[in-house]
């Protein structure tokens, strides 16, 4: 049975255990050779000789008894001696002596100024300095171990003399040696838990200079895997474990340290420790001047049963695939492989995993992902580069996308946290990745042509930055090939940089772009001219060509005859569109290939050709590529035995992203293209969407993709740092349609279509489809195959929310066609504009009338009862 020993820390100072367990005793700094026990670098600086005549006030010998103190007060008058270290600042110098090694605290306090404190040896060599480390908001404090000797204090301020006079006080105090508190022995049967707190008066960290700390010692009678947790509700704990002998040395040796475990600010160390006596430093990442006045923490020590742990689930990030260089503002794909490398599945159904990626001011996460996904041995990858021989994919584990906006060195941490149903941690693992964030893309010199002049353009990382804020800066150089010394005006330079950007960012590898690689090339190219990559130009070009295709079909004639549109005819239009896509792409691909061959031969890319490539590529990716998806689905449905009811076909439809296209965009595009029969085409568009949902994918996919190009164009110019060029902005400006006048919307009636389809037995089945796509099939809905010509037949009531809205009517005509109608709840007969089914109906396919508006029946009164 495991027990927990709970220890309570008494008071602010830790318990004093005199003797060999003292922290830092042998590592004290000497007056002759100061040593700073931290990660900081100590530099030797000689005091300036100019201040030799400034008075040094002797405070005398500091008694070695803890609590002994030397004090002085003074005033910065703006006419005192100059500081050795701070420009145009008053300074007073004090001297004190200690006759034995001890822990010394020096405070510089002022209510009127921002104090700054320097500690020097007797020769004036700087040992340490501090700003804002004291008890007051702007007070300064230095606390450290010092060997016997004479020391100097410079009391100065952060501000120059312009701030005026101010009073101050200096205090030199002998403080208790920070010795550890004994926690006893840690055994498999006996856990240890202790609570404490940090304050500005707490001992200073050995490892993190200037940070408050508490120290503890425990013994481990037998080697074991030990878990040490340091938690705090409001602090930022840092945990360090070291052998007690190392903690007494000048340069402390760490067995282990941790900050921010498991995606939290708490700390955890878990590893095997040999039998020994160990010291623990429980410190906080927040320095004294940023630390609250009283911050609680809890330290817990537990021996982990290794066999149980080995048979537990253990999710790990096995592999990551992240670029080493990115451009600030670009989305960064974080690909990875994660797997359960432990010996068992999750302990319960509520256990789950959280995957996340974190970096400077970025965070993305997935989850919770529950236990059924994580049997022992399973691994999931997010791209081919992270795949292993046994890993697989799941839509639930996808790449993260993060964006870093600040240039310079950066990092990303990809991790997985597993918790059980009680939210207790089961495992945690992550991988770090360093990367450089650049202000723009880099590329070797390329040749471009602007107005007949050839320029060499290159972009390289600036290696000579002095300020760290400038790290990652990319310098673009534009030089005239014929006259390298010639001055280049801003607009010419912007166009040269644009052409170079198209050359290196778009044209190079153009056929490997995902949207382009999938496009087929027809044997007979169909040329297209795209005036610009703006959304308006793309839609205008596409609308004009699509109108020609639709006008050449029989669909408008069917509409004019008032006949329902065959879904098969809509599918034929979609397949015809795909053929035109193939022909158009063949023309574009030939043009790009010709330019690539010209460049490979040493030719320069002209600004005009660069703009054409950019426009054509936008057309291919925003208009042509989306048009392939609907044709693929149509082909799959026609090849499937169950047609559109085939599960795989239905999955293809369901897997398409939703796109809320603006219903006026297509009309605007038709009108901008100069199409004459816009009203007829828009009326047909409404019917084609009703006849086949795939048609809506065709149109809306292009509308939405084109709408996104304006932001893409702006980002392209922004990456090249030419988004302030007036000429380029004018070329890329989106075409704004006129704002329609808003009219108040009346309470809408019910919009519906009458549906009908031919069954295997020759009967005609009827139903209605609401504008939302919801379908209603009345109970008696079949028109027999031998009905009398010219006689109307009606279905039973069509009910919506339990209320009848009317009945469907149908009759056979002498020419074999069937006329559809609807009788509303008041008995009024409604005839749709498209009301006729052709005599040669396709078996099993739903045909639809045009939309009709049915008067909405009144709401039943609250006291009305349903008939029995």
Residue 684 shares a structural domain with residue 645? yes
pLDDT value of residue 778: 92
Helix (H, G, I), strand (E, B) or coil at 770: strand
- Tracing tokens 């389809």 back to the chain, one arrives at 757
Q: Is residue 861 part of a domain?
A: no
Provide the phi-psi class of 801: left if phi over 0, else alpha when psi is between -120 and 50, else beta.
left
pLDDT value of residue 27: 35
CATH of the domain at 405: 2.60.40.10
On whether the CB atoms of residues 74 and 91 are closer than 8 A, the answer is: no
Residue 251: count of CB within 10 angstroms of its CB? 9
On whether the CB atoms of residues 334 and 365 are closer than 8 A, the answer is: no
On whether the CB atoms of residues 439 and 496 are closer than 8 A, the answer is: no
Based on the structure, what is the number of domains in the chain?
A: 6
Residue 793 shares a structural domain with residue 772? yes
Residue 629 shares a structural domain with residue 530? yes
Q: Is residue 739 part of a domain?
A: no
Residue 512 shares a structural domain with residue 583? yes
On whether the CB atoms of residues 835 and 829 are closer than 8 A, the answer is: no
Q: Taking Cα atoms as reference points, which of 310, 307, 304 lies closest to residue 224?
A: 304
Q: Taking Cα atoms as reference points, which of 61, 164, 64 lies closest to residue 113?
A: 164
Query: DSSP string of 802-846?
Result: TEEEEEEEEEE-TTS-EEEEEEETTS-EE--SS-EE-SSPPBT--
522, containing H or E segment: none
Inter-CA distances, 823 with 381, 795, 826, 830, 854, Å:
58, 10, 8, 6, 9
Residue 477 shares a structural domain with residue 597? no
Q: Is residue 640 part of a domain?
A: yes
Q: What is the 3-state secondary structure (H, E, C) of 320-349?
A: EECCCEEECCCEEEEEEEEEECCCCCCCCC
Q: Taking every pair of C-alpha atoms in the chain, what is the biggest distance, in angstroms?
A: 126
- Among 109, 144, 175, residue at a domain's last position: 175
Residues of the chain with pLDDT under 50: 1-2, 8-52, 244-253, 262-263, 287-292, 864-868
pLDDT value of residue 260: 54
CA 347 to chain centre: 31
Q: Is residue 860 part of a domain?
A: no
Full domain range(s) for residue 821: 750-854
- Token representation of residue 354: 């959280």
With a CB cutoff of 8 Å and minimum separation 6, the contacts of 421 are: 348, 349, 350, 351
On whether the CB atoms of residues 361 and 411 are closer than 8 A, the answer is: no
pLDDT value of residue 279: 84
Compute the distance between CA of residue 745 and CA of residue 749 in angstroms, rounded to an integer.
11
Give the CA radius of gyration of the chain: 39
On whether the CB atoms of residues 529 and 651 are closer than 8 A, the answer is: no
Considering Cα of 369, then 371, then 372, then 373, what sign does the dihedral take? positive
On whether the CB atoms of residues 458 and 476 are closer than 8 A, the answer is: yes
Considering Cα of 280, then 282, then 285, then 290, what sign does the dihedral take? negative
Q: Is residue 866 part of a domain?
A: no
- Among 129, 159, 175, residue at a domain's last position: 175
Compute the distance between CA of residue 185 and CA of residue 571 in angstroms, rounded to an integer.
79
Helix (H, G, I), strand (E, B) or coil at 755: strand
Compute the distance between CA of residue 730 and CA of residue 594 in angstroms, rounded to an integer.
28
Give residue-wise pLDDT tens across range 248-269.
Answer: 333 344 555 555 554 456 777 8
pLDDT value of residue 617: 96
pLDDT value of residue 40: 36
Compute the distance between CA of residue 563 and CA of residue 574 in angstroms, rounded to an integer.
20
Residue 700 shares a structural domain with residue 816? no
Helix (H, G, I), strand (E, B) or coil at 280: strand
Residue 736: count of CB within 10 angstroms of its CB? 7
Inter-CA distances, 203 with 127, 195, 214, 281, 566, Å:
19, 16, 7, 10, 84
Residue 662 shares a structural domain with residue 533? yes
Compute the distance between CA of residue 844 and CA of residue 852 in angstroms, rounded to an integer.
23
Q: Is residue 18 part of a domain?
A: no
With a CB cutoff of 8 Å and minimum separation 6, the contacts of 792 are: 809, 810, 811, 821
Q: Is residue 867 part of a domain?
A: no
Compute the distance between CA of residue 670 and CA of residue 675 in angstroms, rounded to an integer.
5
CA angle 592, 593, 598 (to 5 degrees): 95
pLDDT value of residue 739: 58
HSE (side-chain half, CA atoms, 13 Å) at 557: 6
Name the DSSP letter for residue 385: G
Residue 847 shares a structural domain with residue 767? yes
- Token representation of residue 470: 């400038």
Name the DSSP letter for residue 312: S
Residue 346 shares a structural domain with residue 289? no
Residue 531 shares a structural domain with residue 661? yes
Residue 708 shares a structural domain with residue 721? yes
- Among 256, 287, 308, residue at a domain's last position: 308
CATH of the domain at 142: 2.60.120.380
Provide the phi-psi class of 452: left if phi over 0, else alpha when psi is between -120 and 50, else beta.
left
Q: Is residue 863 part of a domain?
A: no
Q: What is the 3-state secondary structure (H, E, C) of 141-194?
A: EEEEEECCEEEEEEEEECCCHHHCCEEEEEEEEEECCCCCEEEEECECCEEEEE
Residue 434 shares a structural domain with residue 519? no
Compute the distance between CA of residue 695 and CA of residue 577 in angstroms, rounded to an integer.
11
pLDDT value of residue 25: 33
Helix (H, G, I), strand (E, B) or coil at 447: strand
Backbone angles phi, psi at 269, to 5 degrees: -125, 130
């Amino acid at each position: 049975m495991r027990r927990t020993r709970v220890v309570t820390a008494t008071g602010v100072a830790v318990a004093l255990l005199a003797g060999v367990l003292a922290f830092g005793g042998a590592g004290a700094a000497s007056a002759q050779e100061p040593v700073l026990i931290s990660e900081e670098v100590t530099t030797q600086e000689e005091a300036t000789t100019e201040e030799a005549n400034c008075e040094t006030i002797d405070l005398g010998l500091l008694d070695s008894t803890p609590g002994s103190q030397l004090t002085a007060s003074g005033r910065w008058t703006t006419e005192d001696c100059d500081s050795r270290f701070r420009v145009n600042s008053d300074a007073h110098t004090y001297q004190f002596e200690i006759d034995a090694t001890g822990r010394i605290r020096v405070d510089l306090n002022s209510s009127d100024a921002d104090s700054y404190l320097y500690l020097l040896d007797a020769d004036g060599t700087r040992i340490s300095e501090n700003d804002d480390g004291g008890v007051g908001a702007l007070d300064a404090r230095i606390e450290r171990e010092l060997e016997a000797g004479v020391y100097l204090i410079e009391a100065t301020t952060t501000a120059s003399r312009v701030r005026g006079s101010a009073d101050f006080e200096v205090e030199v105090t002998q403080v208790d040696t920070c010795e550890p508190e004994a926690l006893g022995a840690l055994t498999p049967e006996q856990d240890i838990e202790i609570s404490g707190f940090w304050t500005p008066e707490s001992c200073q960290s050995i490892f993190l200079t200037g940070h408050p700390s508490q120290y503890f010692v425990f013994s481990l009678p037998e080697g074991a895997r030990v878990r040490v947790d340091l938690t705090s509700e409001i602090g930022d704990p840092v945990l360090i474990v070291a052998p007690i002998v190392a903690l007494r040395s000048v340069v402390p040796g760490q067995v282990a340290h941790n900050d921010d475990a498991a995606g939290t600010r708490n700390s955890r160390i878990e590893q095997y420790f040999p039998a020994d006596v160990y010291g623990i430093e429980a410190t906080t990442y927040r320095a004294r001047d940023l630390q609250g006045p009283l911050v609680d923490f809890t330290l817990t020590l537990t021996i982990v049963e290794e066999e149980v742990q080995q048979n537990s689930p253990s999710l790990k990030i096995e592999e990551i695939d992240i670029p080493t260089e990115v451009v600030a503002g670009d989305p960064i794909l974080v690909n990875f492989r994660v797997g359960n490398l432990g010996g068992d599945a999750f302990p319960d159904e509520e256990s789950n995993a959280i995957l996340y990626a974190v970096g400077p001011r970025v965070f993305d996460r997935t989850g919770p992902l529950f236990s059924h996904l994580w049997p022992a041995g399973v691994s999931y990858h997010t791209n081919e580069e992270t795949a292993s021989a046994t890993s697989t994919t799941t839509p639930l584990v996808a790449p993260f996308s993060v964006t870093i906006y600040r240039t310079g060195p950066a990092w990303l941490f990809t991790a997985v946290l597993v918790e059980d149903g009680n939210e207790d941690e089961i495992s945690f693992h992550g991988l770090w990745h360093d990367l450089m964030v650049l202000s723009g893309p880099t590329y070797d010199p390329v040749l471009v042509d602007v107005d007949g002049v050839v320029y060499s353009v290159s972009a390289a990382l600036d290696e000579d930055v002095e300020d760290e804020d400038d790290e990652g800066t990319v310098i673009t150089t534009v030089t005239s090939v014929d006259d390298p010394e010639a001055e280049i005006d801003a607009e010419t330079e912007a166009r040269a940089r644009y052409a170079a950007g198209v050359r290196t960012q778009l044209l190079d590898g153009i056929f490997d772009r995902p949207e382009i690689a999938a496009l087929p090339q027809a044997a007979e190219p169909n040329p297209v001219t795209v005036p610009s990559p703006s959304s308006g130009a793309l839609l205008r070009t596409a609308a004009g060509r699509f109108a020609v295709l639709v006008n050449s079909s029989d669909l408008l004639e069917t509409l004019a005859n008032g006949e329902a549109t065959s879904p098969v005819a809509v599918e034929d239009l979609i397949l015809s569109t795909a053929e035109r896509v193939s022909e158009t792409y063949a023309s574009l691909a030939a043009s790009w290939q010709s330019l690539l061959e010209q460049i490979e031969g040493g030719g320069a890319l002209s600004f005009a050709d660069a703009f054409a490539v950019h426009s054509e590529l936008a057309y291919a990716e925003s208009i042509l590529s989306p048009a392939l998806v609907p044709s693929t689905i149509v082909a799959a449905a026609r090849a499937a035995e169950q047609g559109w009811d085939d599960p795989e076909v239905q999955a293809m439809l369901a897997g398409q992203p939703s796109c809320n296209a603006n219903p006026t965009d297509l009309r605007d595009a038709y009108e901008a293209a100069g199409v004459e029969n816009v009203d007829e085409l828009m009326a047909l568009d409404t019917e084609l969407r009703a006849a086949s949902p795939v048609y809506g994918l065709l149109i809306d996919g292009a509308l939405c993709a084109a709408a996104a190009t304006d932001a893409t164009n702006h980002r392209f110019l922004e990456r090249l740092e030419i988004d302030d060029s007036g000429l380029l902005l004018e070329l890329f400006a989106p075409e704004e349609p006129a704002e329609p006048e808003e009219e108040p919307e009346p309470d809408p009636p019910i919009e519906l279509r009458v549906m009908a389809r031919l069954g295997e037995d020759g009967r005609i089945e009827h139903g209605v489809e609401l504008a939302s796509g919801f379908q209603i099939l009345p109970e008696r809905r079949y028109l027999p195959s031998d009905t009398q010509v010219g006689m109307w037949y009606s279905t039973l009531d069509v009910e919506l929310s339990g209320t009848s809205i009317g009945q469907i009517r149908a009759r056979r005509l002498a020419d074999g066609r069937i006329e559809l109608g609807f009788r509303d709840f008041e008995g009024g007969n409604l005839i749709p504009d498209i009301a006729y089914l052709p005599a040669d109906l396709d078996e099993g396919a739903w045909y639809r009338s045009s939309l009709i508006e049915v008067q909405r029946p009144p709401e039943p009164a609250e006291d009305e009862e349903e008939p029995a």
